[in-house]
């Protein structure tokens, strides 16, 4: 330390909004990791992504107009300053910085930059694949695959940066015998008496917390007020074209599967074989078949109007005409993690009983987050978080 002779004083370095920003960013990053894999939690995932983006935007503003040590200008160091700082760690000239040290400052700029890449690419995936969010429908399904890759790689990149940042914090805490993690909670650090003691800005922090609390309630409040007859559907898909004849002819024995789940050649084959429809005879007349086929072919999976259609269609080879939705590779992949015990439940019984889990099966949209496993439902995001927290490690 440079001023060992002077008595260190404790000053406020990190104002309250900077600390609230920091810890909420950590929390939303963790929630986004935990919820990315399972479509059921896409509402939780997009919630944490929007929160993350909102926090980054706040930080950009606070970096310009915030308090002394939170301003970007205060910790804009050149590359040589970073190198000198790192060299200094191993020598006698170890310098103590009250705010961010040069290496830490660079990590923070990288974290913010990569965080923006991560969330903005996420918005493109949400708009391109799911047809949700501000970029809905702006790019095609195929174009969105590149954004999905950017989204995934930047997430891993950010995780790596977080680890580096954490190691840096631990290293500096040890070298300077100062608990920097504690400092990010309390906001205070030991400093020379002439260092600046910043304003806490509690009102700004209270506003941030209020906005996020309101966002939590508008996103998840529906789970608290839903009833068995009116389950809460976090995502609402586009209204798909319906056909009355299809609905009446195909709903007697099972759900009238929406034609967007199979390509038109499958529907044509199914009508050709209508007298041996899975051991049943559909016994349809020519006129009805013509109408059903006209409807099916103008709304089939090959037209890729919605995500399930696009994904089903891309996973069926051009020379195949599957008759079962549940035989399609994409369908199998999406349902392989569901245990045998679930399929055997009275409320499910059959793989083709889509409506048992997909609350929007009749609409045909099969939106992410609108699915539940029967018997494991209600407040699923919250229950699921609880189950994770209670899991013995």
- Enumerate binding residues for ligand HEC (CB under 6 A): 38-40, 249-250, 252-254, 257, 261, 277-278, 280, 282, 292, 307-308, 324-326, 334-335, 337-338, 342, 348, 350-354, 356-358, 366, 368, 371, 373
Closer by beta carbon to ligand HEC, 20 or else 292: 292
Closer by beta carbon to ligand HEC, 10 or else 347: 347
8 Å CB contact between 164 and 103: no
Which residue from 118, 117, 88, 114 is spatially nearest to 103, judged by alpha carbons? 88
Compute the distance between CA of residue 219 and CA of residue 234 in angstroms, rounded to an integer.
8
List the Cα angle 266/258/338 in 5-degree steps: 90
Q: How far is the CB of 326 from ligand HEC (least distance, A)?
A: 4
Q: How far is the CB of 221 from ligand HEC (least distance, A)?
A: 23
8 Å CB contact between 223 and 382: yes
Closer by beta carbon to ligand HEC, 114 or else 312: 312
Compute the distance between CA of residue 286 and CA of residue 37 in angstroms, rounded to an integer.
46
Q: How far is the CB of 334 from ligand HEC (least distance, A)?
A: 4
Compute the distance between CA of residue 331 and CA of residue 318 in angstroms, rounded to an integer.
17
Q: How far is the CB of 386 from ligand HEC (least distance, A)?
A: 18
User: Burial code of 119-152, b = ≥16 C-beta within 10 A, e = fewer?
Assistant: bbbbbbbbbbbbbbbebeeebebeebeebeebbe
Closer by beta carbon to ligand HEC, 81 or else 376: 376
Closer by beta carbon to ligand HEC, 159 or else 338: 338
Q: How far is the CB of 116 from ligand HEC (least distance, A)?
A: 26
Closer by beta carbon to ligand HEC, 199 or else 324: 324
Compute the distance between CA of residue 38 and CA of residue 369 in angstroms, rounded to an integer.
9
Q: How far is the CB of 282 from ligand HEC (least distance, A)?
A: 5
Q: How far is the CB of 115 from ligand HEC (least distance, A)?
A: 25
Compute the distance between CA of residue 382 and CA of residue 140 in angstroms, rounded to an integer.
33
Q: Which residue has the tokens 């840096």?
A: 168
Q: How far is the CB of 145 from ligand HEC (least distance, A)?
A: 14
User: Burial code of 242-261, b = ≥16 C-beta within 10 A, e = fewer?
Assistant: ebeebeebbeeeebbbbbbb
Compute the distance between CA of residue 301 and CA of residue 288 in angstroms, rounded to an integer.
21
8 Å CB contact between 115 and 50: no
8 Å CB contact between 371 and 39: yes
Q: Which residue has the tokens 């699921």?
A: 384
Closer by beta carbon to ligand HEC, 196 or else 373: 373
Closer by beta carbon to ligand HEC, 176 or else 242: 242
Which residue from 130, 144, 116, 140 is spatially nearest to 49, judged by alpha carbons? 116
Closer by beta carbon to ligand HEC, 4 or else 228: 228
Q: How far is the CB of 139 from ligand HEC (least distance, A)?
A: 17
Compute the distance between CA of residue 140 and CA of residue 307 in angstroms, rounded to an integer.
10
Which tokens sit at 358?
A: 């997909």
């Amino acid at each position: 330390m440079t001023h060992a002779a002077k008595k260190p004083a404790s000053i406020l370095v990190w104002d309250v909004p900077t600390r609230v920003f920091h810890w909420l960013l950590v929390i939303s990053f963790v929630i986004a990791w935990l919820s990315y894999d399972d479509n059921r939690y896409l509402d939780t995932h997009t919630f944490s992504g929007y929160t993350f983006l909102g926090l980054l935007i706040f930080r950009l503003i606070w970096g310009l107009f915030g308090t002394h040590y939170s301003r970007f200008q205060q910790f804009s160091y050149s590359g040589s300053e970073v190198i000198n700082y790192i060299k200094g760690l191993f020598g006698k000239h170890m310098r103590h910085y009250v705010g961010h040290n040069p290496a830490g400052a660079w990590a923070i700029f990288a974290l913010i930059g990569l965080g923006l890449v991560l969330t903005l690419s996420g918005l493109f995936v949400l708009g391109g694949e799911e047809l949700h969010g501000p970029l809905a429908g702006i790019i095609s399904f195929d174009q969105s695959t590149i954004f999905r890759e950017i989204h995934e790689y930047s997430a891993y990149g950010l995780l790596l940066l977080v680890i580096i940042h954490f190691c840096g914090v631990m290293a500096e805490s040890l070298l300077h015998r100062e608990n920097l993690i504690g400092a990010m909670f309390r906001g205070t650090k030991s400093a020379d008496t002439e260092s600046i003691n910043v304003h806490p800005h509690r009102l700004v922090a209270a506003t941030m917390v209020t906005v996020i609390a309101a966002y939590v309630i508008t996103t998840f409040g529906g789970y608290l007020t839903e009833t068995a007859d009116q389950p809460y559907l976090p995502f609402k898909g586009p209204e798909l074209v319906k056909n009355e004849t299809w609905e009446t002819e195909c709903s007697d024995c099972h759900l009238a599967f929406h034609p967007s789940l199979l390509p038109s050649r499958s529907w044509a084959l199914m009508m050709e074989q209508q007298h041996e429809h899975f051991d049943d005879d559909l016994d349809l007349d020519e006129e009805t078949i013509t109408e059903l086929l006209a409807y099916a072919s103008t709304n089939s999976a090959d037209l890729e109007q919605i995500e399930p259609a696009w994904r089903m269609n891309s996973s069926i080879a051009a020379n195949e005409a599957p008759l079962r939705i549940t035989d399609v590779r994409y369908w199998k992949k999406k349902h392989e993690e569901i245990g045998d015990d679930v399929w055997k439940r009275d409320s499910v019984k059959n793989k083709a009983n889509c409506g048992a889990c997909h609350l929007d099966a009749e609409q045909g949209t099969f939106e992410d987050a609108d699915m539940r496993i029967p018997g494991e439902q209600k407040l699923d995001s919250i229950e699921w978080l609880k189950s994770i927290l209670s899991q013995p490690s």
